[in-house]
C-alpha cells in the first residue's frame, strides 16, 4: 500500500522524531529524511543542531532537550533509576526526562515517533509507552555492532524489553540479526538511507562537460570520517603500493576525524615521496563532494570492524560515488556487499587486506575501459538507491503500521 496516495494528505499521521544531533555533514542522509518527511514531521527532539543555515528543516519545530535532562544518569542516580525504572538497553535519563519527552510529543500532536539510532529508540519507547505513542526504531551502524557488546543492550533484544511499532535497518546483515533474535519479519523494513542519485548524476555530468581533465592522471577519491572503522590508513598503504607501479596515480581525501593527525604524519613525514600525490581536502559541503566525485576516476574505501566492534551500516558515500559514475574499490564489510557486485561495478577485498586493495586499484589504473564500464554499471545500480524512493518507502512503512494500529484500535 502507498500510504501517501491511499489516504488524503490531512489524514496522514503526525510524526515526531528524536535524534542525538541534526545537521552533521557526515550524516546528511538524516537531513534528507527529515526534509522529505517535513509535511508530516511536526517536531524533532535533539541535543545538538549543527550547520543550521546549510541544513534548514522547515516548518518542523526543533526542540532541544532541556539542560536538566541533557546528560544521561551516572553513578548512584543511575543505580536508583535502574532499580525503580523500566528495563531498557538504552541510556538512562531518568523518569523526569521520560515524562517531559512524553508530554512534549503529546503537546505536538504526535501519533508516531521516528527514533534515530537504537539506543535513543529505546529511550523514546520507555517514555512514549506512558502515553501510548508508537515508536519506530531506525538502526544504522554503531547501534547494530559496537553497542551489541553491551550486555543490557543485547538483552533488550533477546528479552523484548521494548515494544517497537516497527524497526528499520539499512543493511541485510542487520535484518539477519533481528531475524535471528526471533522478530517477526513483517516488523522489519530493510531501507537503505539512499542518496540523491539522480541529482548527483546530473550535476556530475554537467561538471564533466566543462572540465579540462588531464587523462594521463588516474584520480582516486576517499570521502568519509577519519575513524578506525573506515581505516583510511589502509587506503594510504594500498595507494602507496599502487603508486609504485602507477606514478600517475593521485589520491584525494575528503573528511576529518580523530585519525587526521596520524594520516598527515604518514603522508608527509613517513612517506615524503608521496607528498605531491596525496591531498587532504578537509570536510566539504554536499556540492563540494559531488564536484570531487565528478573529477575522480575511482572511489576507494577500506571499511572494517573497529577494535570496539563498530561497523558501517550502509555507507552513503559509496552510493553517491556510484551515482557519479565511479567504479568502487572497497571491502567485504557490512552494507557494502549490498551495494557493490564484485567484478561488475567494482572490486572488494577482505578487511585488512590492503595488498589486495592495491592490486584492485592498480588494475583499474591500467585499464581505462574497465573504469568506464564499471562506472556505467555503478550509475545504473545507484538508481535503485535514490533517496526520494528510500524515504518514500520509509514513509509508507511508518504510515501503514500506524494506520493499521489505528484501525485495530477503532475495531
Map out the domains of the chain with their CATH numbers: 3-194+387-410 (3.40.50.2000), 197-385 (3.40.50.2000)
pLDDT of 7 strictly over 80: no
> What does the pLDDT look like over 296-312, one tens digit per residue?
999 999 999 999 999 99
Give SS3 for 118: helix
Rounded distance, CA 243 to CA 227, Å?
Answer: 24
What average pLDDT does the segment 10-37 reach? 92
Please, are residues 378 and 322 in contact by the beta-carbon 8 Å criterion? yes
pLDDT-derived band at 4, boundaries 50, 70, 90: very low
C-alpha to C-alpha distance for 382 and 296, rounded to whole angstroms: 17
Q: Is 307 exposed, middle or buried (0-12, 13-18, 19+ CB in 10 A)?
A: exposed
End-to-end CA, the chain? 20
Per-residue pLDDT for 354 more than 80?
yes
Q: Supply the DSSP string of 215-247, one letter for each residue.
A: TT-EEEEEES--SGGG-HHHHHHHHHHHHHH-T
Q: Is the pLDDT of residue 216 over 60?
A: yes
Q: Which three cell numbers stand for residue 178?
A: 533481528
pLDDT digits (tens, 9 = 90+) for 47-85: 999 999 989 998 999 999 999 999 999 999 999 999 989
Helix (H) / strand (E) containing 265: helix 260-265
Q: What percent of the chain has pLDDT over 90?
A: 90
* d(C-alpha 276, C-alpha 154), whole Å: 47
2 has a pLDDT exceeding 80? no
Query: What is residue 407's predicted lDDT score, i.e. its pLDDT?
Result: 67
Q: pLDDT, tens digit, for every residue of 355-380? A: 999 999 999 999 999 999 999 999 99
pLDDT band at residue 399 using 50, 70 and 90 as cut-offs: very high
CA distance 29 to 168: 14
d(CA 106, CA 111): 8
Radius of gyration of the chain (CA): 22
pLDDT greater than 60 at residue 18: yes
Which of 91-95, 120-124, 185-189, 254-258 is predicted least confidently?
91-95
Evaluate whether 154 touches 160 at the Cβ level (below 8 Å).
Answer: no
Cα angle vertex 129, ends 125, 130, to 5°?
130
**237-274 per-position pLDDT tens digit:** 999 999 999 999 999 999 999 999 999 999 999 999 99
Q: What pLDDT, on a 0 to 100 scale, did the predictor assign at position 333?
A: 98
In this predicted structure, what is the pLDDT of residue 260? 97
The pLDDT-based confidence of 405 (bands split at 50, 70, 90) is: confident
Between CA 393 and CA 2 the distance in angstroms is 9
- Asked whether the beta carbons of 300 and 276 are under 8 A apart, the reply is no
**Closest Cα to residue 194, out of 176, 170, 172?**
170
Residue 179 has pLDDT above 70, yes or no: yes
Placement of cell 514531521 in the chain: 41
What's the residue count for the chain? 411
3 state SS of 64: strand
Mean pLDDT of all residues in the chain? 94
Are 124 and 68 a contacting pair, CB within 8 Å?
no
Q: Which three cell numbers stand for residue 19?
A: 535524534
**Beta carbons of 115 and 136 less than 8 angstroms apart:** yes
- CA 330 to mean position of chain CA atoms: 17
Amino acid at each position: 500500500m502507498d500510504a501517501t496516495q491511499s489516504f488524503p494528505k490531512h489524514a496522514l499521521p503526525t510524526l515526531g522524531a528524536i535524534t542525538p544531533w541534526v545537521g552533521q555533514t557526515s550524516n546528511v542522509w538524516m537531513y534528507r529524511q527529515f526534509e522529505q518527511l517535513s509535511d508530516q514531521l511536526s517536531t524533532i527532539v535533539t541535543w545538538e543542531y549543527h550547520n543550521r543555515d546549510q541544513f534548514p528543516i522547515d516548518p518542523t519545530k526543533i526542540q532541544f532537550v532541556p539542560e536538566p535532562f541533557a546528560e544521561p544518569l551516572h553513578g548512584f542516580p543511575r543505580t536508583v533509576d535502574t532499580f525503580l525504572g523500566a528495563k531498557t538497553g538504552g541510556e538512562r535519563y531518568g523518569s523526569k526526562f521520560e515524562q517531559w519527552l512524553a508530554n512534549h510529543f503529546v503537546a505536538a500532536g504526535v501519533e508516531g515517533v521516528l527514533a534515530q539510532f537504537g539506543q535513543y529508540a529505546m529511550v523514546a519507547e520507555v517514555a512514549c509507552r506512558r502515553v501510548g505513542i508508537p515508536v519506530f526504531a531506525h538502526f544504522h551502524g554503531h547501534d547494530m555492532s559496537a553497542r551489541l557488546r553491551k550486555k543490557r543492550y543485547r538483552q533488550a533484544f533477546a528479552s523484548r524489553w521494548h515494544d517497537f511499532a516497527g524497526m528499520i535497518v539499512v543493511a541485510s546483515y542487520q535484518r539477519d540479526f533481528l531475524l535471528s533474535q526471533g522478530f517477526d519479519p513483517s516488523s522489519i523494513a530493510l531501507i537503505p538511507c539512499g542518496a540523491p542519485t539522480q541529482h548527483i548524476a546530473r550535476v556530475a555530468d554537467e561538471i564533466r562537460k566543462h572540465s579540462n581533465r588531464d587523462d594521463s592522471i588516474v584520480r582516486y577519491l576517499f570521502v568519509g570520517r577519519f575513524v578506525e572503522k573506515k581505516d583510511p590508513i589502509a587506503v594510504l598503504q594500498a595507494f602507496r603500493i599502487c603508486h609504485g607501479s602507477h606514478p600517475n596515480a593521485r589520491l584525494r581525501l575528503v573528511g576529518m576525524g580523530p585519525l587526521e593527525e596520524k594520516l598527515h604524519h604518514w603522508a608527509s613525514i613517513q612517506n615524503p615521496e608521496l607528498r605531491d600525490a596525496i591531498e587532504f581536502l578537509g570536510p566539504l559541503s554536499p556540492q563540494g563532494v559531488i564536484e570531487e566525485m565528478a573529477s575522480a576516476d575511482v572511489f576507494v574505501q577500506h571499511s572494517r570492524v573497529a577494535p570496539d566492534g563498530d561497523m558501517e551500516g550502509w555507507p552513503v558515500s559509496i552510493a553517491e560515488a556510484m551515482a557519479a559514475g565511479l567504479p568502487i574499490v572497497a571491502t567485504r564489510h557490512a552494507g557494502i556487499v549490498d551495494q557493490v557486485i564484485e567484478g561488475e561495478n567494482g572490486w572488494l577485498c577482505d578487511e585488512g587486506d590492503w595488498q589486495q586493495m592495491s592490486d584492485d586499484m592498480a588494475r583499474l589504473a591500467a585499464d581505462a575501459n574497465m573504469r568506464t564500464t564499471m562506472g556505467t554499471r555503478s550509475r545504473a545500480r545507484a538508481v535503485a538507491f535514490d533517496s526520494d524512493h528510500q524515504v518514500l518507502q520509509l514513509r509508507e512503512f511508518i504510515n501503514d503500521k500506524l494506520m493499521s494500529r489505528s484501525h485495530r484500535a477503532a475495531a
